[in-house]
Chains A and B, each alone.
Chain A
Amino acid sequence: AQSVTQPDIHITVSEGASLELRCNYSYGATPYLFWYVQSPGQGLQLLLKYFSGDTLVQGIKGFEAEFKRSQSSFNLRKPSVHWSDAAEYFCAVDPNQAGTALIFGKGTTLSVSS
């Protein structure tokens, strides 16, 4: 079945430590790929996106993500987490590459400990 999977429901990271959030997708062709962040009371904000080309993409707030076709993955990383990064993170795909419906994963909640 076509799906977007975020295996980790909740992750806790110490401030200053590195972060990796996992995302796997199951679609026949490589979809457009996105990471969004949602803070309490805030709308979803786009962190970064992948359409084609360089498989390592840079985003806002120091985040990056790497597309791995062989693993159908698009994992989000940050070398040093700040307390303000605590939020919910969603991986999303545009399976039709049409700028229409996005399919979201269930999200990963990130907590940052001091």
Chain B
Amino acid sequence: DTGVSQDPRHKITKRGQNVTFRCDPISEHNRLYWYRQTLGQGPEFLTYFQNEAQLEKSRLLSDRFSAERPKGSFSTLEIQRTEQGDSAMYLCASSLGGQEAEAFFGQGTRLTVV
């Protein structure tokens, strides 16, 4: 399968713990995006990378959140000191870049903070 891969698919954590998610984009896709989707809502943009550079961050990305894409390939999203409000589906997408490139989405990581 050469689609966007996310790991883990599910994560349950206790409030206050740190969690890290991984996204492997489609090979040769130079743009990588993170979105968050809560129940009953559409995905909300968090951040995106062009190769290894993080070019845009949403106001939703508080200082407890950090995303990296160290070699311009896979990306990690870390949430520190998790709160119950962080419970959501975290979606990763990738594209070839350019104005009209299609973004391909992974199946997401579902985070539950208890």
> Whole-angstrom distance between the alpha carbons of A70 and B98 in the complex?
28
Out of B98, B103, B104, B108, name the residue touching A102 (CB < 8 Å): B103
Inter-chain contact B48/A100, CB cutoff 8 Å? yes
Residue from A4, A44, A51, A107 in contact with B105 in the complex, judged by beta carbons closer than 8 Å: A44
Residues of A within 8 A of B44 (CB): 104
Give the nearest-CB partner of A109 in chain B: B40
Q: Is A99 an interface residue (CB 8 A)?
A: yes
- The residue on B at minimum CB distance from A44 is B105
A window 59-114: CB within 8 A of B? 90, 92, 97-107
B12: Cβ under 8 A from any A Cβ: no
CA distance A87 to B48 in the complex (A): 27
Question: How many interface residues does chain A have, given as a range?
Answer: 20 to 34
Bound Cα distance A102, B41 (Å): 14
Which A residues are in CB contact (< 8 Å) with B48? 100-101
Within the complex, the shortest CB–CB distance from A41 to chain B, in Å, comes to: 7
A43 lies within 8 A of B107 (CB): yes
B28 within 8 A of A: no
Contact of B41 among A97, A99, A107 (CB under 8 A): A107
Cα A37 to Cα B103 in complex, Å, equals: 13
- Which residues of the partner chain A approach B102 to less than 8 Å between Cβ atoms? 46, 49
Taking a contact as CB atoms under 8 Å apart, the answer to whether A104 and B42 are in contact is: yes
Q: How far is the CA of A112 from the CA of B45 in the complex (A)?
A: 30
In the complex, whether A42 has a CB less than 8 A from a CB of chain B is yes
Residue B114 lies at the interface, judged by CB distance under 8 Å to chain A = no
11 contacts between A and B (CB under 8 A): A4-B42, A43-B106, A43-B107, A44-B105, A46-B103, A51-B99, A51-B100, A92-B42, A100-B55, A102-B45, A106-B42
Could you tell me which A residues sit within 8 Å of B by CB distance?
Answer: 4, 32, 36, 41-46, 49, 51, 90, 92, 97-107
